[in-house]
A and B are shown apart, each in its own frame.
Chain A
Amino acid sequence: MIPVIIMGKITLLMAISYCFFTTGFIYFIIFQLAVYNNKTTPLNESLIGRQSTGTGFQSLISLMSFGVPMLVINLLRIAFGEIISQLIFLAIGLALTFTSNYWIKNIYKRFMKRRYKNMEGFRDSK
């Protein structure tokens, strides 16, 4: 990302806000949805070699994780302009990054409640 900043293609603020939005918001969404995933996906095979790209739910996780942020940033841009939208992004990212201890503990508890169902699914789909 540093070369792109030096070349002036993106601003430092944009780089920092996207960075924290990833560690905060995107990880938050991925982990929250992962609690409900009970199928394995073959990471050993290359993306092209895979017979399937995963279950519908796994596609939904990908969509929510990468599609929703794009939608949010575009809506914020339209409503508040470039700088304000990046600051909002940064604020959301920082808030979720620094409270990660709390929501990860909550995810762990929910994982444990669903552990038998999830483990059975993982074993069946191996």
Chain B
Amino acid sequence: MADFSRREFLRKGSIGVAAGVAALGLGTEGGIARAATRATKTNDPPAEHGEAITSEPIVAYVRRGASGEVTVMAGSREVVHMDPDLARRIIRASKH
């Protein structure tokens, strides 16, 4: 992995997540909101959900690649996905 900074990784990771989310059928704001309802860890009010998805940065964090655990943060929300395929694609994106 030549000349690849953590910042670039996270940027590319964000792109990877956006692609992954679309592939999972969660690409609409409503879809994201529903996913957040199922798995969110935040205590923030639902009023913030959805509105930030298209305007705020999205951060993806592959906490444990082997287990497929991917944490996605957008606005004040955090959604934990157990998705080995998504994790693999982000890891792959980090190497190119």
The answer to whether A and B come from one shared complex is no
Q: Which residues of A contact B (CB under 8 A)?
A: none
Q: Which residues of B contact A (CB under 8 A)?
A: none
